[in-house]
Structure 1
Amino acid sequence: MFKKALLAALTVAAGSVAFADTYPSRPITLVVGFPAGGGADAVARIVGEKLGRVLSQAVVVDNRPGAGTTLASELVSRAQPDGYTLLLGTANLYGSDQLLYKSARYDGVKSFTPIARWSNSPMLLAVNKDFPEKSVKGLMEQARKNPGKLTYASSGAGVVTHLAGAAFAHAAAIDMLHVPYKGGAPSIQAVAAGDVDMTFGTPPSVMPMVQAGKLKPLAVTTAERSPLFPDLPGMNESGIKDYDFNLWFGLYGPAKLPPEMVKKLFEASAQVLRDPEVKARLEKQGNVAWPSVSPQEFKDWAISDGAKHKAITQRAGAGADNK
């Protein structure tokens, strides 16, 4: 009996290694829970294109926006763990989704296999061009003199642009009014028009309005200055401690993805993210290539960062299904 069990285990192990050796033998689908043309889509296409070359198979981006990215996450959580359906995921997988959407039936830790961190991006605190203050410290003084009067726009309740603003208000000990919009474009346009005072937006959405002279950037949302925006102060320099908010993306597969396959995808991702052309293209979109040390390091870090986002969501009382 023991010999039969041992033989079976060895056969399975040999088959797994052989499968990993031939993987991938057909195109890989990379599911993205954001529309085409946005920041997440840019990361997926820039890295995915080169990843396909390294793996000698196409990586096809499949945009599945809706319900705050939960439609895309749900799809991948139910996919076969064969390495042909992957997800571009971020911190909301680890609890925020479940707080915001009652329909989210997956668990960030149990339903996915973290493979590799791909990118990191600061967000930008920007105000209308006619806003009287030119610094974060001045903005905070205004907020303290007029509690609840300053407004910040977001692309929806509970999304990253809302959480960045809510976390800022908490760290700065000020009271601001959140104004949600149905999407990033209308929220940015509202600030540019002067209907709302400020936004905590992604670089691709904010910088065109800055260049057009309609928005005025005050700082990056990371603790220190970003090499992407060296002229803008970080939050420590602006007088706000314990505030370090960024937007990252990583590669995930369904739960129980074979270790050999994870290793192959991780090593291929690391090779891609070292490529000078890929790094330059990401930086042009306001992202920094940020490869993880190992799949386990990425997993541990992502769970920790996801817990922070969940706490911000709870503190903000954010909700989508029940707002």
Structure 2
Amino acid sequence: GGAYVPIDPEYPLERMRYMAFDSEVKVIISDVPLAEELTAESIELIHMEDERIAGQDRSNIDNVNQSGDLAYVIYTSGSTGKPKGVMIEHQPLINLCRWHQSCFEVGQNDNSSIYASISFDAFVWELFPYITAGATVHVLNQETRLDVEKLNRYFHNHHITISFLPTPVCEQFTALDNHSLRTLLTGGDKLNVFKEKSYQIVNNYGPTENTVVATSFPIDKSYQNIPIGKPIDNVKVYILNKDLQLCPLGASGELCIAGEGLARGYVNRPELTREKFIENPFVPGERMYRTGDLAKMLPDGNIQFLG
């Protein structure tokens, strides 16, 4: 019934310590010696290589979680220099998985890949929708991730059918020929390059505060400015002016998000939580997240990201 906090061992020790103590973790599970420097009297350290683990009960544990329980905390870079922990509950994660499985028809015969580090929210998107659908997930090593030619060969040799690649990598990858993929997802930055391929390329947008994905756009042709699409299932997107009023069609404004994808808030940052997660002016009793990003609504209902 616990929530997890992913900590990348490549992070500076000071950052890892901050994340561990700010989130008040009770247990650290690790396979690196560095983890010992993060522990305190209140934190139990479990080494993955500990032989006692092999002797534990292997039966599935009881499901004790409710939809409003905390699932995980992802730390993102904070404007003050200290990372801020974003708390995601089970319901938004389930909503992401259900939308993804339905939209991209994920099934047991699919092979997907994990490109992102465990400490990034994209990792959540690359893992849970697939393992909950019975698909096979391939964790890419660093050598493969850093070379698009090797990445392409890996996809071909292991019959990868659906994958996510960060925007800059996607733009390089699509210059190559690939015949294993049926869907390539991208996001994280403004997509500037599109080449029509044998597989579907999907441009996505979403802050960590909305459980990875808020909008999605299957690219159907070349655009001067590729849209970020329409809201995913059970998510609402508004383009608002400084007075939190709806902008006219085609006018730029702040992109704000409501619906089932929203995070609970920030760990130990109640003031920032109140500042960013406000009352939805259009739906009483509902919250809305202010992204700070600029966008505009297009005549066809798709959203164009402006920065």
Q: Same fold (TM over 0.5)?
A: no
Q: Give the structure with the higher percent strand.
A: 2
Q: Give the structure with the higher percent helix.
A: 1
How does the TM-score come out when normalised to structure 1? 0.33
How does the TM-score come out when normalised to structure 2? 0.34
Q: Which has the higher contact order (CA 8 A, sep 6+)?
A: 1
